[in-house]
Structure 1
Amino acid sequence: MKNIFFYQTEIGEIGIAENGNAITNLYFKRIELIDNFNLAETKLIKEAYSQLKNYLLGDIKKFTLPLNPEGTDFMKKVWNSLTLIPYGQTCTYKEVAKSTGNEKASRAVGLANNKNPIPIFIPCHRVIGANGKLVGYSGGIDIKKYLLNLERTNIKDIF
């Protein structure tokens, strides 16, 4: 059984879910609770929210949470690659495909990106189109733009 709790943030209401050991989902809006969710603010969810809040304030650049996204082996490989994209930088779908060992898998990378169950913590917002355009994001293009601008604004704090 998963636990979930909702928070109001500067990018809207966010739901964070965990399975008792790791964060499993982040939702950009309140979901209707179904049988496999308990509404509970656990210690792990509180920590995830604390890190998210500090990220949105520009105070942290990297999350240190246990993550357990559910998906195929290929999806997990893509999601792992996404966690390696440095704060404040972007990659194209093709670059992510290359990092998985299959540079022709750009479409499959796009599908995996679209199915990312833990956006922000797994930074799929850092993946852009080959032409530099912002394409697709589960939270909407406005939130993707907000997150990228937040990181660009705070990148100077890294160096």
Structure 2
Amino acid sequence: MQTTICETPIGNLVVEGDELGVSLIIFSDDSELRETKECPKFLEASKRQLKEYFTGERKTFDLKLNPKGTHFQHNVWSALQTIPFGKTKSYQQMANQLGKPKVIRAAAFANGKNPISIIIPCHSAIGSDGSLTGYAGGLHRKKWLLEFESPAQ
């Protein structure tokens, strides 16, 4: 497993992966982390595409992903990837999409365990009432990402 750091307007992203794909993209609040010029070859595309996203040049990603999780988590993460750029989906809508409307809490929990921020857009999952509920990267980042992706811009 190799790691690189990607600086963004809302904090540094730790990007991890290998030849099988990207397995982790998480925000870090470690002020000591700095982006380096050297990047493992198989992480170059993810770093480039993340930078393009944050400059507004990219709305979809074309990367090989390799997140670690349960079968159910993978189903939830796949459902997240169907949310278009600039749109949101409630946890209830996600549970319904999975064909299991009663698993709303489990879907929300699996969403929170998403190891690949931004690319698997867990920030696009909201409460049924439109509220910004939990985000591993912090609610301030979730709010920023949703505003950044807003079609009103």
TM-score over 0.5 (shorter chain): yes
- What does residue 18 of structure 2 align with? 19
- What does residue 3 of structure 1 align with? 2
What displacement does 1:93 show?
Answer: 0.2
Indicate conservation of the 8 Å contact 2:15/2:24, yes or no: yes
Once residues 60 and 143 of structure 1 are traced to their aligned partners in structure 2, the CA distance between those partners, rounded to angstroms, is: 18
Once residues 83 and 134 of structure 1 are traced to their aligned partners in structure 2, the CA distance between those partners, rounded to angstroms, is: 18
Once residues 101 and 67 of structure 1 are traced to their aligned partners in structure 2, the CA distance between those partners, rounded to angstroms, is: 24
Indicate conservation of the 8 Å contact 2:23/2:66, yes or no: yes
Once residues 73 and 21 of structure 1 are traced to their aligned partners in structure 2, the CA distance between those partners, rounded to angstroms, is: 18
Unpaired runs of at least 5, structure 1: 32-39
What displacement does 1:30 show?
Answer: 6.7
Indicate conservation of the 8 Å contact 2:18/2:43, yes or no: no
Unpaired runs of at least 5, structure 2: 31-37
Indicate conservation of the 8 Å contact 1:5/1:15, yes or no: yes
The alignment status of 1:144 with 2:142, answered yes or no, reads yes
Map Cα deviations across residues 7-49 of structure 1 (whole Å, 9 max, x no partner). Answer: 2221111110002220000121178xxxxxxxx7212212101
Alpha-carbon distance change, 107 to 7 in structure 1, aligned in 2, over 3 angstroms: same
**Runs of 4+, deviation exceeding 4 Å:** none
Once residues 18 and 43 of structure 2 are traced to their aligned partners in structure 1, the CA distance between those partners, rounded to angstroms, is: 10
Name which of 94, 99, 102 aligns with 2:100: 102
Name which of 31, 44, 47 aligns with 2:45: 47
Alpha-carbon distance change, 22 to 54 in structure 1, aligned in 2, over 3 angstroms: same
Once residues 8 and 23 of structure 1 are traced to their aligned partners in structure 2, the CA distance between those partners, rounded to angstroms, is: 17
How many residue pairs get matched?
A: 146
Once residues 26 and 152 of structure 2 are traced to their aligned partners in structure 1, the CA distance between those partners, rounded to angstroms, is: 29
Indicate conservation of the 8 Å contact 1:15/1:29, yes or no: yes
* 2:14 alignment partner, SS class: strand
Indicate conservation of the 8 Å contact 1:15/1:30, yes or no: no
Name which of 88, 97, 115 aligns with 1:117: 115
Indicate conservation of the 8 Å contact 1:7/1:13, yes or no: yes
Alpha-carbon distance change, 134 to 52 in structure 1, aligned in 2, over 3 angstroms: same
* 2:28 alignment partner, SS class: coil
- TM-score of the pair, normalised by structure 1: 0.87
- TM-score of the pair, normalised by structure 2: 0.90
The alignment status of 1:65 with 2:63, answered yes or no, reads yes
- What does residue 35 of structure 1 align with? none
* 1:27 alignment partner, SS class: strand
- What does residue 28 of structure 1 align with? 27
